[in-house]
A and B are shown apart, each in its own frame.
Chain A
Amino acid sequence: MNGRSLSKLQSALAVAVGVLGLLGLVLPRSAETGLSDTPFLTTFAVLAVFSLRRFRYPLPVFFDGCLTLAAGIALPMSLVVIDKGAVGFWSLTAAGWLSAWLFVERLTASGRGGRWASLAVPVLFGVTLLVLWEVVTRGLNVPQVLLPPPSAIGARFAASLPILWADFQQTFLKSVLIGYALGCGSAFLVAILIDRSPFLQRGLLPVGNLISALPIIGIAPIMVMWFGFDWPSKAAVVVVMTFFPMLVNTVAGLAEAGRMERDLMRTYAAGYWQTLVKLRLPAAAPFIFNALKINSTLALIGAIVAEFFGTPIVGMGFRISTEVGRMNVDMVWAEIAVAAMAGSAFFGAVALIERAVTFWHPSNRA
């Protein structure tokens, strides 16, 4: 494909964009006001209809980019003008969504742009989702309590930065990171002990299994009684949650080095620690990083949920549980946004380190 000719799916999307644009142009776009009140929307509708020309004269991918951009500006801007969407408005919303889809399709199919395209596609996907969310919640007057529009969440986020930062510090920088380091670190050491002793292997692995099966809502109040209301009790919950995945994966990873590789170390008369450091731990690294990745999200969930069971008046879980009671759903969403960003960044950081350390593994080889 040369990037100009369209696949079947792309053609269907292009037709749909044009037809929906035409509908949006002729049908009423607003329940209260006339055509002249929504110049952005009219511009987008005209552009969408114009895009049908591609079936006579091919249009570049760049045009679809502009069309998507026009939709992204026109739809939310028009919401200021019109109170409630009408048929024409919704068909243009659909046209905007499909034009974004078409743009992404053509961008990936053309294979051009390299790193830019691989970055642009997920960003575009996310932005499209946000715009649709905004347009649908405001255009349909969805009650704030059910689902606030992203703009309201953003406004609340910006207005409550000090609170969010304090919560982030309490929950993420204290409970999560400390609990994660203690949980993963102790599981790693115990795994090495277990590996040396069949007795511990038989005794400790089932106990670890048992602990991992305990419900977090059962442990959290007990930890509060043991370690108090502040972050140590949350870190303890995180330790309990992260311990077992790390233990099992490290034990499995330590068994990963092949017989031949071990025999080789034996012919060199290598000691236990030399074999561990130079062969078995590197061979176990993919397993260990799997556990570290799983635990990066588990730790955050554990810390937030643990705060539902007694905490000082700060923390992400505390904020979520109290603000939901006050019907301040936008604040809940702002905390969710913080949690999502922190969780993704944490996971991403661990994944980056993993790529650097296990570059040799077949799944990472360039």
Chain B
Amino acid sequence: MDIVMPNGLDPDPTPVIRARNLDLTFQTGDGPVRALSDVTLDIGKGDFVSFIGPSGCGKTTLLRVIADLEQPTGGSITVNGVSPEQARLKRAYGYVFQAAGLYPWRTIARNVALPLEIMGYSKAEQRDRVARTLDLVNLTGFENKFPWQLSGGMQQRASIARALAFDADILLMDEPFGALDEIVRDHLNEQLLQLWARTTKTIAFVTHSIPEAVYLSTKIVVMSPRPGRVTDVIDSTLPRERPLDIRETPEFLEIAHRVREGLRAGHSYEDV
């Protein structure tokens, strides 16, 4: 998996996401807060990239900048070779938030159909895609339930289905399993990997769990706070095919150790 980069040259001339010296300073009532500082990063097509770090390290902000939900105050970023705004207007990504954020007045099927309605898909196409994506996340049979009739894990799966329903080739996920318990989380991690293997999407995934980051990713971006910056980028040596018990192999533990070292180097364990 490791790609040698002679002379620091980019191995992939057209990365899906390409950030150079990205800066973002929020103006708050208590003065400016530097959320991102000099972030340089490439994410290649088909990568599963995790952003990990303590709270306040800017990992969510970075994801929001990629999604054009925040504007950087310095540096440059391109998504699919264009600006994040153009990428957003071209509907280049599906965003999965920390909470499912399903609309309670819509059934599961109609929630998944929401982006399709907005993007003007035909009725037949909508039906077809809703059925297919609900099948992908194992929610077939729950089409006519309302979100509040489902468990938290099922709601989050429905929100992933909603992000998959249209053909965005980038999936941005902001701690999507953060509010779920460990058992449900394991299960969804496994399902997410299978889904990624089937769809060949590029996934950017924010988490604060080291095992989750190592288990899922082909590339782990370690970030540290005050100001938010990238301290290490680790390319995973794990095979793409990952059963849950890979988490007990020495290789896995070795990568987890490197992540922890990266967090320590970024002073992430101080003052917490």
Contact = CB atoms under 8 A, between A and B. Distances in A.
A185 interface: no
B89 A264 contact: no
A361 B147 CA distance: 12
B90 to A, nearest CB: 8
Interface stretch (A215-223, A265-273, A328-336, A343-351): A265-273
Contacts of A261: 101, 103
A263 B69 contact: yes
Nearest to A267: B95
Interface in A243-272: 258, 260-261, 263-270
A56 interface: no
Nearest to B88: A269
B105 A263 contact: no
Nearest to A357: B105
Interface residues of B, number: 23
Interface string B69-107: 100000000000000000011110111010101011100
Interface stretch (B112-120, B191-199, B203-211, B261-269): B112-120
A266 B68 CA distance: 9
Contacts of A282: 103, 105
B142 interface: no
B163 to A, nearest CB: 9
B94 A278 contact: no
B148 interface: yes
B115 A268 contact: yes
B43 interface: no
B105 A360 contact: yes
Among A267, A269, A362, chain B packs the most CB atoms within 10 A around the CB of A267
A38 B68 CA distance: 87
A267 B162 CA distance: 12
Nearest to A271: B118
B252 interface: no
Interface string B56-74: 0000000000011100000
B93 A274 contact: no
A275 to B, nearest CB: 9
A267 B69 contact: yes
B69 A266 contact: yes
B117 A278 contact: yes
A264 B101 contact: yes
Report the interface size class on chain A: 20 to 34
A263 B94 CA distance: 11
Given A278-B118, A365-B148, A267 B88 contact: yes
B119 A361 contact: no
A82 interface: no
Among A285, A359, A360, chain B packs the most CB atoms within 10 A around the CB of A360
B197 to A, nearest CB: 24
Contacts of B69: 263, 266-267
A362 B146 CA distance: 12
A279 interface: yes
Contact of A263 (B97, B117, B118): B97
Given A266-B88, A269-B88, A360-B146, A260 B118 contact: no
Contacts of A274: 118
Given A268-B115, A268-B118, A279-B103, A360 B95 contact: no
A267 B173 CA distance: 12
Nearest to B172: A267
A171 to B, nearest CB: 36
Interface string A222-258: 0000000000000000000000000000000000001
A361 B148 CA distance: 10
Contact of A361 (B90, B97, B104): B104
B1 to A, nearest CB: 30
Interface in A312-366: 358-362, 365
Contacts of A268: 91, 114-115, 118-119
Given A267-B88, A358-B105, 13 more contacts: A258-B101, A260-B99, A263-B69, A267-B67, A267-B69, A267-B94, A267-B95, A268-B115, A269-B90, A269-B91, A278-B117, A359-B105, A360-B148
15 contacts: A263-B95, A264-B97, A267-B69, A267-B88, A267-B94, A268-B119, A269-B89, A269-B118, A270-B118, A278-B117, A279-B103, A282-B103, A282-B105, A285-B105, A360-B146
Interface of B: 67-69, 88-91, 93-95, 97, 99, 101, 103-105, 114-115, 117-119, 146, 148
Across chains A and B, which 5 residue pairs bring their CB atoms closest together, nearest first? A360-B104, A267-B95, A360-B105, A270-B118, A260-B101
